Amino acid sequence: MKFLSLAAVFWCVLVPPSEATKSFEDVRCKCICPPYRNISGKIYKKNVSQKDCNCLHLVEPMPVPGNDVEAYCLLCECKYEERSTITIKVIIIIYLSVIGALLLYMAFLMLVDPLIRKPDAYTQPLHNEEESEDAHSLAAVHPSASSRANTVLERVEGAQQRWKRQVQEQRKTVFDRHKMLS
């Protein structure tokens, strides 16, 4: 996945666009002409050079008669706009690569997590506290094979079970005995 993204980024950066493609994609002249007499306002866009970016070169056909052309063009606001489509493509490729990597990671976790998880004795509802206390005392007296922490996963599960026991004890103390732990 990383190799594919790097290849796509290098391809976008290193392959130079042709001059015709660049003039079509990266540059344009945009004139915004407000309403004038009985003519409604309009936006004109065209791919022209920067020196030709004015109302006289861009507005075709001219909506006003010959003697009003200069007054109409003075009202129009023309801007030369330039953008880098290569930068846009690179950013989109990086964004999609990150999203794809996160989706692959999520799918991996969804497939692998049920296989490595063991049934948890601490997911019982809160109203079965007596039964859970018996299970806790039994687990404390007879350590099971998973609490020996042979692998990293078993160590993490052991820490998670200790944390769950602490949370359960805090719940019991706060809700049943109405005391705050200090």
Task: From residue 65, give the alpha-carbon distance in Å to each of 9, 27, 73.
Answer: 51, 30, 12
Separation CA 40–CA 38 (nearest Å): 7
Q: What is the pLDDT of residues 102-146, one digit of tens each?
A: 999 999 988 887 777 765 555 445 445 545 555 555 555 445 544
Task: From residue 96, give the alpha-carbon distance in Å to each of 19, 20, 67, 147.
Answer: 28, 28, 54, 41
Cβ atoms of residues 94 and 5 within 8 Å = yes
Per-residue confidence (pLDDT) for residue 131, from 0 to 100: 53
Q: Does residue 11 or residue 153 have the better pLDDT?
A: 153
99 pLDDT more than 80: yes
Torsion angle in degrees (nearest 10) through CA of 41, 46, 51, 53 = 10
Lowest mean pLDDT among 17-21, 48-52, 83-87, 117-121: 17-21
Average pLDDT over residues 24-52: 87
81 pLDDT more than 70: yes
Separation CA 34–CA 55 (nearest Å): 12
Separation CA 130–CA 168 (nearest Å): 12
DSSP 39: B
In this structure, how many other beta carbons lie within 10 angstroms of the beta carbon of residue 36? Answer: 18
Q: For tokens 């030709």, name the residue.
A: 52
Cβ atoms of residues 148 and 154 within 8 Å = yes
65 pLDDT more than 50: yes
The predicted model scores a pTM of 0.40
